[in-house]
Amino acid sequence: MTRLDFLVRRLETADHRVTRARLAVLAALTEAGSHFTADDICHRLPRVGRATVFRTLKLLVDLGVVCRVLLEDGSLHYRLNLLAVGVHHHHLVCTDCGRIEDVAARDITLSVDELASKSGYEIDGHWLELYGRCQSCRTDERVGATG
Amino acid sequence: MTRLDFLVRRLETADHRVTRARLAVLAALTEAGSHFTADDICHRLPRVGRATVFRTLKLLVDLGVVCRVLLEDGSLHYRLNLLAVGVHHHHLVCTDCGRIEDVAARDITLSVDELASKSGYEIDGHWLELYGRCQSCRTDERVGATG
DNA sequence: ATTTTTGCAAATGATTTGCAGTCCC
DNA sequence: GGGACTGCAAATCATTTGCAAAAAT
C-alpha cells in the first residue's frame, strides 16, 4: 500500500469524501518532503483553492495523519505522520539543514510527571519542539571546517 | 526598587531611551497581571500607538525581561520575567483558571540530554509549554462538585 | 435529490512597515 | 541638533468565512 493509498483510506474510513481536490492535496503531501507549509502545497497546486488546502490540512490533522510543527522562527509547518497515526510525539528539528525527526512522547514523560507531582498540576497536554543540529550537520562542519 | 524601576533600568543599561510611550507601556505591563496579550496593553493605553506597543514588547523580549507564552489555543501571550532575567524556563499553564507558573528548564533538561545523545542531535533550543489544571482548580472542583 | 465540498473573493486578526513629525539626551 | 522614537495609516501574512456553483453518493 502506498502512502497515498493510506491517506485515501484514512479519509474513507472516517466518512469523508475523496474528491478530486482532496486527492490532489493528498498526492502533493506525499511528494512534498519531510515537512512543508500550507503555502508550499498551494504553490504546487495552483488549480486547487487556497481555502481547500487549509481545510484539507485541518481535516488531516484532526484525523491524526498530519501533524503541525512549529519552527524556531514561529512559522507553522506540517508533516505526514503515517507510522504512528494519532500517537502523541514531538519533533527534533535541525536548525541547520531543516531535517525533522519524530520523538516518542514517552521519552519526556517521566520528567513531565515529576513536574506535575511537584507543582500539584494535573498535566494533560504540552507542546514541545526541540531545536538543534543533527548528527550529519555536525559531522559536515567538522569535515569542512575552514577555521 | 519597584518592578517599574527595574524595567526602566533594564532599558537604560541597554542604551535604549526611556520615552513617555515606553514608560506607559512598562507601567501597563506591571499592572496587567500574570500574563497579557499585546492587545490587552493596547486597550489599556489608547493613546499609545499599536505599533509602539508591539515594538516595545519585542524590545523587552529581546532584553529578557518579558517572555512569550503560547496558549493551548495557539494565541500568544506575554509575561513579565523579572526574577530570572533571560534565564531559560518553561510555563505551566492552567487550562482552567489561566494561572501561569514558571518552571526551571533544568527540570526537563535531563531527558532532553538523553534524547540528544540517542539521536546524535546537539540540542540548543526548545519550546515547551505545559497545559493542565492547577492544584486549586482541582480542589475547587472536588469541593464544588454537583454531580 | 441531497449533502458535501469547492473556489472565489472578501473578511479577519495579528503583526509589521514607511515615513513625516516629535522627542530625548 | 541629530539620531532615536512615535503614531498613523497602509501593507502584509496566514488563515478563515460566506456563499453560490459544482461534484459526489
CB contact under 8 A, B130 and A114: no
Ranked by mean pLDDT, which of A34-38, A122-126, B120-124, B128-132 comes out on top? A34-38
Q: Which of A69, A88, A130 to mutate to test the interface with B (most CBs of B within 10 A)?
A: A130
- Helices A3-13 and A50-63 cross at an angle (nearest 10°) of 80
Strands B89-94 and B122-133: parallel
CB atoms within 10 A of CB B30: 15
| Residue pLDDT, tens place only, A95-105 | 667 677 787 76
Residue-wise pLDDT tens for chain B (147 aa)? 899 999 999 999 999 999 999 999 999 999 998 899 999 999 999 999 999 999 999 999 999 999 998 887 788 999 999 988 988 787 877 766 767 778 776 666 656 666 666 677 776 666 776 667 777 777 776 666 544
Q: Which residue has the higher pLDDT, B86 or A140?
A: B86
Using C1' positions and the CA of A55, the closest nucleotide is D16
Contact B114 A107 (CB under 8 A): yes
Q: Is the CB of A45 under 7 A from strand C?
A: no
The predicted model scores a pTM of 0.81
Distance A95 CA to D12 C1' (A): 26
- Residues of A within 8 A of B129 (CB-CB) are 126-128
**For residue A146, pLDDT beyond 60:** no
Contact by Cβ (8 Å): A133, A94: yes
Question: What is residue A147's predicted lDDT score, i.e. its pLDDT?
Answer: 41
**Any bridge partners for residue B126, and if so which?**
A130
In this prediction, residue B61 carries a pLDDT of 95
Q: Identify which of A95, A110, A124 has the shortest CB distance to residue B132.
A: A124
Smallest Cα–C1' distance to nucleotide C7: which residue has it? A49
Whole-number Cα distances in Å, A9 to A25, A52, A62, A88? 14, 19, 15, 21
B62 touches chain A (CB under 8 A): no
Give me the pLDDT at residue B147, please. Answer: 41
Query: Looking at the partner chain, which of A95, A111, A129 has a beta carbon nearest the beta carbon of B111?
Result: A111
pLDDT tens by residue, A50-109: 999 999 999 999 999 999 988 877 889 999 999 888 887 878 777 667 677 787 766 666
Residue tagged 539543514 (cell numbers): A97
